[in-house]
Amino acid sequence: MTRDEPQRETLPYGALLALAMTGFICILTETLPAGLLPQIVSGLSISPAMAGQMVTVYALGSLLAAIPLTVATQGWRRRTVLLVTIVGFLLFNSVTALSSNYWLILVARFFAGVSAGLAWSLIAGYARRMVAPASQGRALAVAMVGTPIALSLGVPMGTWLGGLIGWRMAFGLMSALTLVLIAWVLIKVPDYPGQASERRLPLRRVLVTPGVRSVLGVVVTWMLAHNILYTYIAPFISPAGLTGDVDVVLLVFGIAALAGIWITGRLVDRHLRNTVLASLATFAAVSVLFGVLSSSAPAIYVGTFIWGLTFGGAATLLQTALADAAGEGADVALSMNVVVWNSAIAGGGLLGGVLLGQWGVAAFPWVLLALLLASLAIALQARAHGFPAGDRRPGGAVVGH
């Protein structure tokens, strides 16, 4: 943060919630096809597998674009970059809503994913820049609140909208939301200059900065464990007789995740390390609970709620730790986070599918436990850099800072 940037103790909620809305649109755009699958299959006369590729190419766009676009736009004014990503959603969701050509829609979905990759690289750094260092963790918690809302409501909202107004109008509504967001950003979100060329760090130097690889190691192990369970939640809860209640289980998860964001916002600036360790240890304990009582519906609901609590603040905690560790290379490090995070989503689907096919859902809790113990070990050893002990705010007793 430079000296001419604002030092606010009161959070600029209007601007931060605009960033949260950007994240909400990113997630909802990604997940809408899952809820709209039957209508898309019928409307385009394609197979369900072909319709499913609308999600695949979106994720691919995010993975491929995040790092190179973040590096390429480091010198641009920040609000210009944000508006470019939002206009991308406006354009490519509109193409999806209007086109009857499957291949053109796939291209539009890929570039919508490109917009998302750049947006995710930008949101955390932007939120931190709006406030004094003492409030950066709380600011990021507010900016990330759209994510669990979209994750818990994305698929059911898509299903509901598909039945109510049709799949094309659902994507059209997303375009309308982006128009509102553009006006919101122009009115409420402050602009900042890009990073001066002499302050930009090359990708390799950011990666070898002490603490960066440790945080990314926790990201990949924690999110891999989460996504194995989240992706295959329907077959996992089947032994407990909850096959018809997947929406209720996900709602419990979503409500708990929102509570987790609030709790994290209260703790992240003073107790980042302890909150990360507690979240990982608690999720590991939930894995044991699921392994022992997998056929108990009450245990599934209780475990899902606690799991949601631990996950809600994960993005805030990990992005705060990563940006702190990377310093001047924060934007580049956060673009790496986008790639690692999305790879964990894809990896969770792949690994979970192999586990499901070879050993069934009974293997899930123990694989989760192994991943979470590995994540906990990485976080524990990153005491000097990555997840330092103490208060991360200026004047706080943070080890290694």
Burial of 158-173, coded b for 16+ CB within 10 Å and e otherwise, reads bbebbeeeebbebbbb
Position 400 scores a pLDDT of: 42
Cα 168 off chain centre by: 25
Most distant CA pair in the chain, distance: 62
Answer whether 214's CB lies under 8 Å from 385's CB: yes
Q: What is the pLDDT of residue 6?
A: 46
How high is the pLDDT of residue 10?
83
pLDDT of residue 329: 86
Predicted local confidence at residue 8, as pLDDT: 42
> Which of 78, 178, 86, 81 lies closest to 128, judged by CA?
78
- Domains of the chain and CATH, by start: 13-199 (1.20.1250.20), 203-381 (1.20.1250.20)
Name the stretches of the chain with pLDDT < 70: 1-9, 154-155, 197-200, 393-401
Whole-angstrom CA distances from 335 to 75, 77, 252 are: 15, 17, 30
Specify the 3-state DSSP secondary structure of 82. helix
Residue 155: predicted pLDDT: 66
152 is written with which tokens? 């818990």
pTM of the model: 0.84
